[in-house]
Amino acid sequence: MIKVSVNGEIKEIEENLNVKQLIEALEYKTKGFAVAINTTFVPIAKYEQTIINNGDTIDILAPVQGG
Amino acid sequence: MKSEELRVKSNEWEIGGKTLKSRMLIGSALYPSPANMEEAIKESQAQIVTVALRRQSAGEGGGNNFWDIIKELNINVLPNTAGCHSAKEAITTAQMAREVFGTNWIKLEVIGDQYNLQPDPYETLKAAEVLIKDGFEVFPYTTDDLVVAKRLADVGCKILMPWGSPIGSGQGLMNPSNLKAIRKQFPELKLIVDAGIGKPSDAVEAMQLGYDGILLNSAIALAQDPVKMAQAFKYAIIAGRLGYEAGTMQKREFATPSTPTVGTPFWHQFT
């Protein structure tokens, strides 16, 4: 197991997960979000080839109200 | 008064590759309820609405209810990078927004001071340059500083959004002469007054300076009646634009009668 930060919360996840597997493991059910790892955007096309490493900071963002 | 009762001529204009009728860019935050937001946006007849991205929790559906309402409105979405404090954060947020919202438009907002939420010109400039090269249509939120405006134009910004006054302050135009100078120096750019608008007359004033549009949120959302205020701003922006296009009269030092003096009855003649 490795430790990562997901939206500010520390979580333990299995090693060698890619972004697609991480999203499934975290049970994100809805679409319409975007992912950044260590403040770098990860496009959908790169989900499967991007492996999560110990200590990574993952942000999963969705639409909200804004000015 | 129903909207259709007042018929005004409002010319189309172009921004970011789109031809629009409305010159209002309306925010989607701070309304008393989602239903009120929806009604206010509809009443404003704005064709651009600003939105944002924030962390989504698993399972809760995040902001998707909100996003469903916005999608239903079928108007242009302008995502912002609100809350970013560096070029790097803003660039990442813009890239994420492009994927989520399916638009290359981005309201670039990099805050440099937490007290007055003043934009950081250095980081904004850095981010603008990168984003334009990456194919974004950048709507940069900036101060009313002429040199910053020049630098943003130099890196390829076709749109500038100088502030009227600090975000959410409702102070109106702090420095109309600076805004006027930017308009004069950049006739080819699309200029939007963003932030600080408090009342409809502020919008009229900005539009009379020749600005192409107004971006506002708090002034409508925090009004006692946001829907009615949305209508007020709709007409204010049209009035200001028409006033600018019509060309205002020159101010004069002394009074000049508007009624003909020829044929004035004797009892009105001064000796």
Instruction: Please write the tens of the pLDDT for every residue from B218-269.
Output: 999 999 999 999 999 999 999 999 999 999 999 999 998 888 888 888 766 5
Instruction: Give me the interface pTM, i.e. the ipTM.
Output: 0.95
User: Which chain A positions have a beta carbon within 8 Å of B62's beta carbon?
Assistant: 30, 32-33, 62-64
Q: Is residue A52 part of a domain?
A: yes
Note whether A27 contacts B51, CB cutoff 8 Å. no
Going by C-alpha positions, the residue among B162, B168, B253, B154 that lies closest to residue B209 is: B162
Going by C-alpha positions, the residue among B43, B80, B84, B54 that lies closest to residue B161 is: B80
- Could you tell me which residue, B241 or B271, shows the higher pLDDT? B241
Cα B34 off chain centre by: 21
Percent of chain B residues past pLDDT 90, beyond the cut: 85
Cα B261 off chain centre by: 45
Residue pair B195/B4 in contact by the 8 Å Cβ criterion: no
User: Which chain A positions have a beta carbon within 8 Å of B95's beta carbon?
Assistant: 34, 41, 43
pLDDT in tens, B165-187: 999 999 999 999 999 999 999 99
Chain B residue with minimum CA distance to A41: B92
Going by C-alpha positions, the residue among B232, B163, B167, B165 that lies closest to residue B204 is: B232
Secondary structure of residue B31 in the 3-state scheme? coil
Query: How many domains does the structure of chain A reveal?
Result: 1
Backbone angles phi, psi at B75, to 5 degrees: -120, 175
Q: Looking at residue B63, what is its pLDDT?
A: 45
**Mean pLDDT rounded to a whole number for chain B:** 93
> Structure pTM?
0.91
pLDDT in tens, A4-49: 999 999 999 999 999 999 999 988 876 789 999 999 999 999 999 9
B184 tagged catalytic: no
Structural domain span for residue A43: 2-61
Q: Is residue B2 part of a domain?
A: no
Neighbours of A23 (CB within 10 A): 18
Question: Exactly one of B18, B107, B126, B199 is catalytic; which is it?
Answer: B107
pLDDT in tens, B191-208: 999 999 999 999 999 999
Alpha-carbon distance B199 to B237, whole Å?
Answer: 11
Cα B56 off chain centre by: 28
Note whether B56 contacts A40, CB cutoff 8 Å. no
- Could you tell me which residue, B57 or B137, shows the higher pLDDT? B137
Structural domain span for residue B140: 9-268
Chain B residue with minimum CA distance to A9: B57
- Which conformational region is residue B32 in: left (phi greater than 0), alpha (psi within -120 to 50 degrees), or beta? alpha
Secondary structure of residue A43 in the 3-state scheme? coil
Q: Kindly tell me if the per-residue pLDDT of B59 is higher than 70.
A: no
The C-alpha torsion from B83 through A38 and B68 to B65, rounded to 10°, is -80
Q: With b meaning 16 or more CB within 10 Å and e meaning fewer, what string describes A30-63?
A: eebbbbbbeeebbeeeeeeebebeeebebbbbbb
Average confidence (pLDDT) over B126-139 = 98
Q: Looking at residue B14, what is its pLDDT?
A: 96
Q: Looking at residue B213, what is its pLDDT?
A: 98
Q: Is residue B4 part of a domain?
A: no
Q: What is the CATH classification number for the domain harbouring A51?
A: 3.10.20.30
Q: Is residue A66 part of a domain?
A: no
Q: What is the CATH classification number for the domain harbouring B192?
A: 3.20.20.70
Query: How many domains does the structure of chain B reveal?
Result: 1
* CB-count exposure of residue A6 (10 Å: 0-12, 13-18, 19+): buried
Min Cα separation A38/chain B (Å)? 10
Note whether A28 contacts B58, CB cutoff 8 Å. yes
Block residue for tokens 């209810």 = B65
H/E run at residue B50: strand B48-55
Q: Looking at residue B2, what is its pLDDT?
A: 53
Residue pair B176/B202 in contact by the 8 Å Cβ criterion: no
Average confidence (pLDDT) over B51-61 = 80
Average confidence (pLDDT) over B79-89 = 97
Q: Where are the alpha helices (DSSP H) in B64-142?
A: 64-73, 87-101, 121-133
How many beta-carbon pairs under 8 angstroms link A with B?
111
Nearest to B62 among A27, A62, A67 (CB): A62
Q: Kindly tell me if the per-residue pLDDT of B81 is higher than 50.
A: yes
Note whether B55 contacts A65, CB cutoff 8 Å. no
Alpha-carbon distance B139 to B160, whole Å?
Answer: 6
Going by C-alpha positions, the residue among B179, B185, B188 that lies closest to residue B207 is: B179
> Which A residues in the span 8-67 are in contact with B, Cβ-Cβ below 8 Å?
8, 26-30, 32-36, 39-41, 43-44, 59-67
Note whether B66 contacts A67, CB cutoff 8 Å. no
Note whether B99 contacts A40, CB cutoff 8 Å. no
Q: Looking at residue B4, what is its pLDDT?
A: 53
Q: Looking at residue B62, what is its pLDDT?
A: 45
Min Cα separation B77/chain A (Å)? 11
